[in-house]
Structure 1
């Protein structure tokens, strides 16, 4: 919420295209709905069903709503990075292919997250319910992890290439800052997804170890998106300060004025 306020209440980003503003509002609304679902599930588990740890997973609100909304948030952010890769190097067929691959994997993990929510809403007596929950969870988490890894690797390579192609120190410092931000924000979601994936394979599906990461996973993606967008203000400010401080200093040397041809001829005639 704070980062959303910071994005809309600044003049530095007022010239953003309407699509980015709609994207920020959409991510904000989805994150708020997911937060309400998580809060309702926590109330049900910690207050209503106090003393019964098996209710931490929740049978209605948490798996049915939180998992699809988390997949939606991650899909939106991943497609945003896919669009950035496409626009940064739209002249490269490899980068365009990577952008398309990221979008396809993002849609795949979103579909798996939605299907998992539908499966969780089915009665426990359904014959294929355990198998469907297992396969959808693997596709959702593995797809999210692979997509995040491709994004971090591609963005880092593109920024390093831009740094090598630039001959200005100020631009290189800004690119260094962008590389650090990309690695930091990408490492957050990448690590959280990896931990969730390890918990899923290491512990039983109904264990409580998975709940903690799943509570915060969707919010991490929204914060990463807003951190990237708001981070452009610092980069623009740094470039503006560098351009204002840039000046040329010439040595002031007092040279005698050149003698004209007429004065030179007068001097010869006087001799």
Structure 2
């Protein structure tokens, strides 16, 4: 009885160390469930999407699921298998660093998709897209380098000299997410017109893009801040572990929002147009040609393309409606 009591009192406080890992596993599982629901909605709502986009979603979800399995096994090993074994708390569990590897993969996949949207929205501006992607790829490379350096470590104490490198890694991660959000918002704002309702749709798209990048960037910033302020705790892991779930949910939320954006676009743009007395009916048409969708007004007899007007044209449509193959999109 006394031995059990002394063993219990010998355990250090775990609230800001293993307790943070436990909370990370709970939050990560909740976000994984939300992402799984979004994936089901995506495959049932957009069966016509291109094959590469479906593969992207599948690979991202599989990597995220593997990551969730690793964090669950990590917490179980520390808190159950090695319960009342204080000596093991300083050990670097072998599944921790592979989680970092998978996080880097998931981040690169999501950021590649968002850079592709920048490419389409900027009308294939190779300099803008390339500069943005270089920052994203640099973040990925830094993660892989860190993983390569620490792959054989077996003690948390061995990671202490790498803290400055971890700080630089988090700065790059936050910078890439913020840059993506800012570039998307900038390109969208350039599409503003004199029509109030069209501007309303652009504002909603801008806010959506800003929120998508800001949430991912915020996780990286909080990881950096707590790692600097509380280096002897695992509070920073709470934000680092859930960031890959945030990437997956951001990717799927962007894809699943297309029907809503299409409905907003049809309602707001049509209502913003002047009346055409010689046409019986007018509807918004997304006609694809050579892989580039064009915004037009379709009536019973004619189609008026506003290619050179100030309407939210080719680039806005390319952002709001994912192009599916060489024939583009067409909606009545």
Residue 142 of structure 1, aligned match among 141, 162, 171: 171
Pair 1:117 & 2:139 matched: no
Cα distance change on mapping 1:156 and 1:242 into 2, 3 Å? closer
TM-score for the superposition, normalised by structure 2: 0.64
1:58 Cα deviation (Å)? 4.2
Residue 239 of structure 2, aligned match among 213, 221, 228: 213
Cα distance change on mapping 1:123 and 1:24 into 2, 3 Å? closer
Pair 1:151 & 2:180 matched: yes
The equivalent residue for 2:128 is: 98
Residue 137 of structure 2, aligned match among 107, 111, 123: 107
1:108 Cα deviation (Å)? 2.0
1:140 Cα deviation (Å)? 2.3
More strand by share: 2
Residue 16 of structure 1, aligned match among 49, 56, 59: 49
1:211 Cα deviation (Å)? 1.8
Q: Is the 8 A contact 1:113 1:136 kept in 2?
A: no
The equivalent residue for 2:222 is: 195
Q: Is the 8 A contact 2:198 2:268 kept in 1?
A: no
Residue 25 of structure 1, aligned match among 58, 62, 76: 58
Q: Is the 8 A contact 1:109 1:140 kept in 2?
A: yes
Matches within 5 A, 1:217-228: 217-228=243-254
1:138 Cα deviation (Å)? 3.0
Runs of 4+ in 1 over 6 A off after TM superposition: 243-247
1:17 Cα deviation (Å)? 2.4
Cα distance change on mapping 1:38 and 1:53 into 2, 3 Å? farther
CA distance in 2, matches of 1:115, 1:54: 27
Q: Is the 8 A contact 1:77 1:225 kept in 2?
A: yes
Pair 1:173 & 2:200 matched: yes
The equivalent residue for 1:68 is: 101
TM-score for the superposition, normalised by structure 1: 0.77
CA distances 1:208-252 after superposition (whole Å, capped 9, x unpaired): 1222112211111111111111111101122334578789597xx
More helix by share: 1
Cα distance change on mapping 1:74 and 1:91 into 2, 3 Å? closer
The equivalent residue for 1:41 is: 74
CA distance in 1, matches of 2:168, 2:123: 29
The equivalent residue for 1:235 is: 261
Q: Is the 8 A contact 2:94 2:154 kept in 1?
A: no
CA distance in 1, matches of 2:66, 2:134: 25
Aligned length: 238
1:150 Cα deviation (Å)? 0.8
Q: Is the 8 A contact 1:45 1:58 kept in 2?
A: no
The equivalent residue for 2:325 is: none
CA distance in 2, matches of 1:84, 1:213: 26
Greater C-alpha Rg: 1
CA distance in 2, matches of 1:75, 1:145: 13
**Aligned partner of residue 139 in structure 2, secondary structure:** helix
1:111 Cα deviation (Å)? 2.1
Pair 1:4 & 2:39 matched: yes
**Structure 1 gaps, min length 5:** 251-271
**Structure 2 gaps, min length 5:** 1-35, 278-332
